[in-house]
Amino acid sequence: MQLRYQFRLYPTAGQRLSLARVFGCARGVYNDALRAREIARSEGLPVPKAGDLSKLLITEAKRTPERAWLGEVSAVVLQQSLRDLDIAYRNFFDGLKGKRPRMGAPRFKSKRDTRQSVRFTANARWRITPGGKLSLPKIGDLEVKWSRALPSQPSTVTVVKDSAGRYFASFVIETGPGEELPQTTAEVGIDLGLTHFAVFSDGRKISSPRFLRRAEKKLKRTQQALSRKQKGSANRAKARLKLARAHARVTDARREFHHQLSTRLIRENQAISVEDLCVKGLVRTRLAKSVHDAGWSAFVGMLEYKAARYGRTFARVDRFFPSSQLCSVCGFKDGPKPLAVREWTCGNCGTVHDRDVNAAINIKTEGRKTVAAGRAETQNACGG
C-alpha cells in the first residue's frame, strides 16, 4: 500500500527564491520537451525518446547562453520533469484506449500557475538532517513541521507550493499492513446525505458541517475585493492570495473532519459498508455545490484505505441497490419515494421507518452479503 505523508515547510526568504528558481527551471524543461514532441508530431517525425530529450534540453542546453540558468539547480529535478511529461502522455493515451478515465492532452505550464511542484529522488542526495530539517541540493536546510514520524525511509520527496503560497514536503511511502486494531463485533452501515452528512445503521446521525456554505459570505467579499483590483497590479496579487488562503481554510477544515470521523469509525467497527454514490452525476444537478461541499468521495476513500491498513472489512454497496425502498424488517420493497418523504410505513408489516436509518440498515445487510460473496468467489478460484 502506498501512503502519502505531507508536512508543512517554512523556507526562509532566500530559500523561497531558490525554490522559485527550481520551479521555473523544471517548468522550462517540461515546456521545451512538450514543444519538441508537438513539433515532431506535426511534421510526421518519430516521437523523440526521453534520452535524446534529456541530452538536448538539459545537458547541451546548459552550455548555451539562453539556458545557462539550468545549471543553477539540481539536474535530478530537470530529469523528473521530463519523466512527468512521459507519464502525462501515457495517461492521455491510456484514456483514449479506455484503460483509465479520459483526460486532456498535456498542456504547457505557465509561470502564472498558482500551484508549483518539483520532485527530488534519491539520486539528488536529499536527506533529513539529525535536527529534523529537510536538506535539499542547492537550496539548503528547510524547517519542517513534523506532525508524525515516517514509518520508513522514503526514496523521493516532492516539494509543493500551493495556491495559498504555502510550502509542503510530500513523501509517498510503500507500507505493509499497519498495526491491527483490537477485534470487535460491531458493524455499521452508512447512508451519506446532505442534511445529515452520515446516518448510521444504529440510528446515530452526523450533521453536515457545510464548511463552504458557512464561509460563503466571507468568500464572496474576498472575491469582490479581488474583482475590483487592476489586473497585473501588486494589490491584485495580494487579493488573490487572500482569497486562496480563505479557500484553503475551508479545504483543510473539511479534510480534518473527514479524517477524524473515518478514524473513529474504523476504531469502533469491524465492518463498514457504504453506498457507492454516483458523485459525477450528482454534481451535474442543482445540488452540485452542496455535493462538492460534502466531499463524499474523499471520505469514502479514507475509510477504504484505513480499513485495509488496520484489518477492518470495507464494502461498497452498488449504487443501484434500492436501500430506501426496502423494509429493513421484513424485506418488502415499497417502491421509490420523493426526497421530501423522511418517514414511511411499510405496507407489509406496518413498521414505521426513518428513511435514512432504514437505508443505512439495508446498506449494512447488503454489505455483509457483498463481502461474503467476494470471499466465496476467492475460495472457488483458489480451489479451481
Provide the annotated active-site residues. Answer: 191, 275, 356
Supply φ then ψ for residue 271, to 5 degrees: -135, 135
Q: DSSP assignment, residue 308?
A: H
Cα(26)–Cα(32) distance, integer angstroms: 10
Contacts of 372 (CB under 8 A, 6+ apart): none
> Residue 232 — left, alpha, or beta (φ > 0 → left; ψ -120 to 50 → alpha)?
left
Contacts of 291 (CB under 8 A, 6+ apart): 194, 279, 282, 283, 285
Cβ pair 327, 349 in contact under 8 A: yes
* 3 state DSSP class of 116: strand
Cite the DSSP H helix spans in 202-233: 211-227
- Nearest to residue 30, comparing CAs of 95, 116, 158, 121? 116
* 3 state DSSP class of 257: helix
Q: How far is CA 216 from its chain centroid?
A: 23
End-to-end CA distance of the chain: 28
Supply φ then ψ for residue 35, to 5 degrees: -65, -40
Q: What is the DSSP string of 187-210?
A: EEEEEE-SSEEEEETTS-EEE---
Supply φ then ψ for residue 229, to 5 degrees: -80, 145
Residue at grid coordinates 492521455: 92
Angle at which helices 13-42 and 75-96 cross, to 10°:
50
